Amino acid sequence: MKNIRLLTILLTSLFLWYSCDKVEPPYVENGNGGELNSDTVRKVLVEDFTGHTCVNCPQAHKIIEDLQQHYGKQLVAVAIHAGFFAKPKSAPYDYDFRTTEGTALYNLFQVQATPIGMVNRVKQSDGGYLVNKGALASEVSKQLDSLPQKPDLYIHLTPSFNSSDSTLSLAAEITFLEALPSAKYNLCIMVTESDIVKAQKNNDPTIGSTPDIFDYHHKHVLRGMMTPTLGEEILDGTPGNMQVISKSYSNFKFGADWVPKNCRVVAFVYYADGPKKYQIIQAQEVEVATP
Amino acid sequence: MRLRISALLLLFLGFGLKIKAQNNYGSVHGSFQFDGQYYNEDTLIGALRPDSKIGANGFLNVIYTNKKFEAGLRYELFMPPLLGFDPRYEGQGIPYRYVKYNGEHFELTAGNFYEQFGSGMILRTYQEWNLGFDNSIDGIRIKAKFPGLVLTGLVGKQRSFWGKGEGVVRGVDAELWLNDAFKSLANMNTRIMLGGNFVSRYQADLDPLYKLPANVAAWSGRIGIFHGNFNFNAEGAYKINDPNSTNNMIYKTGNGLVLEAGYSRRGLGITLQAKRVDNMDFRSDRTASGFNLPINYIPAMTPQHAYTLPAYYPYSTQQNGEMGVQANVIYKFKKKSFLGGKYGTTIDMSYAVSQAIYKEKPNDSTEIGEAGTLGYKSDFFKIGDEKFFHDFSVKISKKINKKWKIYLTYVNIFYNMEVNQGHKEPNVYAQSAVVDLWWKFKPYNALHFDFEGLFVKDNEDKGDWAFGMIEYKYKSFFAAIIDQYNYGNRDPLHRIHYFSASTGYTWNSTRLAVTYGKQNSGILCVGGVCREVPATNGFSFTLSSSF
Amino acid sequence: MKKSIVFSVLILTLAISSFTSQESKRTLPSVTVKTLDGKPFDTKNISNDGNPIIISFWATWCKPCIQELTSVSEVYDDWQEETGVKLVAISIDNARTSVKVKPLVNAKEWEYDVYLDENGDFKRAMGVNMVPHTFILNGKGEIVWQHTTFSEGGELDMIDIVRKIKNGEEIK
């Protein structure tokens, strides 16, 4: 009998030891709202595999939008339309958002279903690189809030758009700010376009009309890449202190229906080999045409 | 590390095979299963051939017992996982291992274990190899057993493919049998059971957008009353705010209630069940979804059909909001009576229905289900407008004479396509009939005929289906040919015959079965969560044994 | 590569052992199951006064299991009179279908000792992969025979083993 009493007391005290956290409103936290003066801040790339007939995708788009409001310029986003739910179907879903590079990335990272994303292409605990929409926010926080605000390298982009033949030229200057290990470093240049107004399937009534949002503003859609899909090697070895590497690209042809003032260049440097293979070190984003 | 484990395994085996007398060295036993498939591409049915061309799933379970001590492990291999299994299972290793002390009053397990508190509404960890489901807890479990009272405490992390879920699960459960615990009640005619449990999950809040509760607790109380031919069971559960991926990050609390009443005597059994759950999806990782990392188990309150076509539209439990009832009557008409015939006839009738719960806006400025808010308000007794599912079935079993046995089944189904499968397609109203005939034409020999039909109103979805199977059984051998024909498909090109043939043999506790042909795509449901299994065309075999 | 070789050797060894081995004379493990009244019951207490015991794992959704138990129920009285054997039926129905066990057993008028193994603890401890899976224990509670799947006339094999046990014969 004594045993039971003792045990019950022990268990009850353990029981009470477990706190339960009842959260009081407001439930949302305030971020920096993007009020950072210098551009030399750590920037993270969030890639979102999505599709215009993917009913769950608008929720992922909203999460990324909320994160952009929270982190401002520190968050660079790209929407990669690929896979089954990005295929053109009957009108109004007959537009083709896909790109060969986007589909190549979809296959490389073994995407099975959308929406699914990647945050700086960091390897996850299950061995893959994919992060589901519910975990995007905490993954971004891990990359931005727990690492120093000063980035390990800085990418300076100078785009030059020729409106007569719709081609884009770009000068990229990468400056290594911190000591980084010996590895192969690759640079990728993407071109994205926002405010493409086309239909999108949706099943969340709190975001918009269901089952279709006919005038959906598609944001940061991957339109193409100025480098090959896996980028171009900029360095093989140990970066020197404050070493600067310059690369230039030219004659990237824009599609006929692209709106240059809505387009941006997204660039990032990542480890092409070693234990941190694919992990992005720093991202950068700049508008194509200055108004 | 891995090599050391295999060496240990071989050592265990050596002990088990060599030593027959158990007294000093303990005993080794276990089981294994190997499922292999070879895939052909078949664009007509949508069957893909993966780059590897084959799929291989296998496991080996070994348990060593010596008096009060027990140790076990399971080696698993997915190289690559069969189509229909989560690709994150790819690989091999030992995801399950434990040591256990089984004493008179105390039991201690360290390592992976499975446990169920009450009916599982708050906590149930279990494994189903053929469904690709395993949410074991890796940690420590202590049980204290006294007359009429069992106390359980546990803490650990759940398995997630080859790793662990982020959250830490801890819980306690107590189950008390009044008649056994208190001498004064020992002779009471009515047996009463009281139980309660408390489970909490800890997962750090790294989310920059929301203030998330790091400790989410859930608890439940249960009662069971057994008196003669009657029994009554009830379990009520409550969960505090748990914004997660499946409920769109709302801060509403969750609750659940399950009631069960039954009466049975010789020749008759009646059960009535009622259930209501609201926001009860509870996982080790608030961002997980699908089959991954559930802590609790809320089963579908619908009949489980053993035949192919009646099970074509299985209900997917809506853990975040559903209410339903199920009634079941089994009756055996006496031998020599008019309906009973010479050997007696059994009739099994059931009706199950599932409906949405009532939801309204939490306040004027917030939409129902809006992220980062309370989500919605729900009146407990109001029924929502949307119907999710209904199933009315009648099964009759009759032994006609020494050589013939017949089983007849009729099922009437309503299936809300959007809620159950997530596609905004029209709802399905279907009926199914099954004629299952056994002919024992010679001792030890039997021919089995299984003819089924699925009739879908207005040919919605894939339309009508017909199914036929002829099986020959002789002692430990069986051979069968099957055809599933989609004759009612609106698209004439897709009115396909899914032919397959299978055969197998059993040696005591070892079974080998081989199948060749086309397999239709299907839906696999675990607890409430359902997943689609793709169509396949090819050759598959299963080898299973216990030793 | 090495891993698959070790694994295949293991499987081969086990396959051979399961064809050729005699039962390792183990007894029932101690696992908590529930009676049809929901009361906890320790499997170590399954006994039959020194007579043989048949333990059959089944489920309400498993047709061959119901066939096996129905076939045995037709001759159960004769078996008991002749050999004193007892059949213990362990249902592996989980919380979804376990509520159907008692009504089904009563409606079919089965006379067996029926227990509920809702979370599969006893099934796992006994190495059962699929149902039906039947074990036969001798008078000392040692497992001397096990079989999976059921077909017409399968119950005749069972009573054969039980008779051998009663006569003190060795089971291979």
pLDDT at B22 > cutoff 50: no
Q: Is B517 contained in some domain?
A: no
Quick: pLDDT tens for B406-464.
999 999 999 999 888 877 789 999 999 999 999 999 888 999 999 999 999 999 999 99
pLDDT at B527 > cutoff 80: no
Mean pLDDT along residues B280-301:
91
Contacts of C15 in chain B (CB under 8 A): 510, 543, 545
Residues 6 or more apart in contact with residue C36 via CB below 8 angstroms: C101, C102, C105, C114, C115, C116
Contacts of A30 in chain B (CB under 8 A): none
Q: B542 or B43, which is more confident? A: B542
pLDDT over 70 percentage in chain B: 95
Least confident of A123-132, B223-232, B342-351, C13-22: C13-22
Q: Tell how strand C86-91 and strand C113-116 pair up.
A: parallel
Residues 11-30 of C with CB under 8 A from B: 11, 13-15, 17-19, 21-22, 24-26, 29-30
How close C84 gets to chain B, by Cα (Å)? 23
pLDDT at A37 > cutoff 70: no
Quick: pLDDT tens for A235-269.
999 999 889 999 999 999 999 999 999 999 999 99
Residue B182 in contact with partner chain A when CB distance is under 8 A: no
Q: A134 or C6, which is more confident? A: A134
Domain that holds residue B150: 112-298
Put simply, the answer to whether C99 touches B75 (Cβ < 8 Å) is: no
Q: Please, which pLDDT band fits residue B289 given cuts at 50, 70 and 90?
A: confident
Put simply, the answer to whether B509 touches C94 (Cβ < 8 Å) is: no
Least confident of A9-18, B385-394, B537-546: A9-18
Report the distance separating Cα B420 and Cα C130, nearest Å.
Answer: 28
Contacts of B251 in chain A (CB under 8 A): 23, 25, 27
Q: Tell how strand B445-456 and strand B465-474 pair up.
A: antiparallel
Q: Tell how strand B510-519 and strand B522-526 pair up.
A: unpaired
- Write out the E strands in B79-214: 91-102, 106-113, 115-116, 124-125, 127-128, 133-134, 137-146, 149-160, 163-164, 168-177, 191-202
pLDDT at B524 > cutoff 80: no
Residues 143-172 of C with CB under 8 A from B: 145-149, 151-153
Q: Max alpha carbon distance in chain A (Å)?
A: 92
Q: Tell how strand C40-42 and strand C32-35 pair up.
A: antiparallel
Q: How many Cβ atoms from other residues are within 10 Å of residue A169's Cβ?
A: 15
Q: Report the residue from A4, A23, A204 with minimal CB separation from B149.
A: A4
The H or E element containing residue A265 is strand A263-271
Q: Please, which pLDDT band fits residue A13 given cuts at 50, 70 and 90?
A: low
Contact B119, B258 (CB under 8 A): yes
Q: Mean pLDDT across chain B, nearest whole number?
A: 90
Residues 286-305 of B with CB under 8 A from A: 286-289
Report the distance separating Cα B288 and Cα A145, nearest Å.
Answer: 23
Burial of residue A282 (CB within 10 Å: 0-12, 13-18, 19+) is buried
Q: Please, which pLDDT band fits residue B88 given cuts at 50, 70 and 90?
A: confident
Residue B443 in contact with partner chain A when CB distance is under 8 A: no
Q: Please, which pLDDT band fits residue B503 given cuts at 50, 70 and 90?
A: very high
Q: Is B325 contained in some domain?
A: no
Q: Is B208 contained in some domain?
A: yes
C24-166 folds as: Glutaredoxin (3.40.30)
**Domain residue spans of chain A:** 37-287
Residues B137-166: b if buried by 16+ CB within 10 A, e if exposed? bbbebbbbbeebbbbbbbbbbbbbbbebbb
Q: C33 or B87, which is more confident? A: C33
- Give pLDDT < 70 ranges for chain C: 1-24, 172
For residue C18, the model assigns a pLDDT of: 47
Q: What is the 3-state secondary structure (H, E, C) of B88-104?
A: HHCEEEEEEEEEEEECC
Q: Report the residue from B13, B129, B328 with minimal CB separation from C100.
A: B328
Residues 6 or more apart in contact with residue B99 via CB below 8 angstroms: B69, B70, B71, B109, B110, B111
Put simply, the answer to whether A4 touches B370 (Cβ < 8 Å) is: no
Contacts of A142 in chain B (CB under 8 A): 206
For residue B429, the model assigns a pLDDT of: 96
Burial of residue A214 (CB within 10 Å: 0-12, 13-18, 19+) is exposed
Residue C146, SS3? strand
Q: How many CB pairs under 8 A join A and B?
A: 130
For residue B185, the model assigns a pLDDT of: 81
Residue B172 in contact with partner chain A when CB distance is under 8 A: yes
Report the distance separating Cα B324 and Cα B523, nearest Å.
Answer: 22
pLDDT at B90 > cutoff 50: yes
Report the distance separating Cα B354 and Cα B391, nearest Å.
Answer: 9
Chains that touch A (3 or more CB pairs under 8 A): B
For residue B17, the model assigns a pLDDT of: 46
Contact B469, B481 (CB under 8 A): yes
Report the distance separating Cα B356 and Cα A84, nearest Å.
Answer: 31
pLDDT at B350 > cutoff 90: yes
Contact B194, B226 (CB under 8 A): no
pLDDT at A149 > cutoff 70: yes
Q: Is B265 contained in some domain?
A: yes
pLDDT at A29 > cutoff 90: no
Burial of residue A9 (CB within 10 Å: 0-12, 13-18, 19+) is exposed
Q: Please, which pLDDT band fits residue B269 given cuts at 50, 70 and 90?
A: very high
Residues 6 or more apart in contact with residue A91 via CB below 8 angstroms: none
Quick: pLDDT tens for A167-210.
999 999 999 999 999 999 999 999 999 999 999 999 888 888 98
In chain C, count of helices (H) and strands (E)?
5, 7
Put simply, the answer to whether C106 touches B92 (Cβ < 8 Å) is: no
Side-chain half-sphere of B210: how many Cα atoms within 13 Å?
A: 27
> In this structure, what token pair is assigned to residue B94?
């030992």
Contacts of B120 in chain C (CB under 8 A): 94-95, 119
Report the distance separating Cα B15 and Cα B8, nearest Å.
Answer: 11
CA angle in degrees (0–180, nearest 5) for C127-B73-C144:
30
> In this structure, what token pair is assigned to residue B503?
């055969």
Tell which residue, A170, A113, A249, A111, has the closest CA to residue A121: A111
Please give the backbone phi and psi of residue B79, each rounded to the nearest 5 degrees, phi first: -135, 80
Q: How many Cβ atoms from other residues are within 10 Å of residue A39's Cβ?
A: 13
Instruction: Please state which CATH number belongs to domain A37-287.
Output: 2.60.40.10
Mean pLDDT along residues B242-256:
92
Mean pLDDT along residues B16-29:
59
Residue B402, SS3? coil
Tell which residue, B79, B95, B82, has the closest CA to residue B127: B95
Tell which residue, A180, A171, A266, A286, has the closest CA to residue A224: A266
Residue C79, SS3? helix
Q: A24 or B391, which is more confident? A: B391
Mean pLDDT along residues B487-516:
92
Residue B197, SS3? strand
Contacts of C40 in chain B (CB under 8 A): 150, 175, 177
- Tokens 């809040």 sit at which residue? B205
Contact A144, A71 (CB under 8 A): yes
pLDDT at A4 > cutoff 80: no
For residue C20, the model assigns a pLDDT of: 42
Burial of residue B67 (CB within 10 Å: 0-12, 13-18, 19+) is exposed
For residue A17, the model assigns a pLDDT of: 54
**What are the C-alpha distances in Å from C92 to residues A61, B97, B315, B337, C133?**
45, 23, 21, 33, 11
Interface predicted TM-score of the whole assembly (ipTM), two decimals: 0.90
- Write out the E strands in C80-130: 86-91, 113-116
Contact B102, B63 (CB under 8 A): no
Q: Which amino acid is at B480?
A: A
| Number of domains into which chain B is organized | 1
> In this structure, what token pair is assigned to residue B269?
């059994």
> In this structure, what token pair is assigned to residue B349?
């009738």
Residues 366-405 of B with CB under 8 A from A: 367-374
Q: Please, which pLDDT band fits residue A94 given cuts at 50, 70 and 90?
A: very high
Cα B511 off chain centre by: 23
A95-A97-A103-A106 Cα dihedral, nearest 10 degrees: -110
* Model confidence, pTM: 0.86
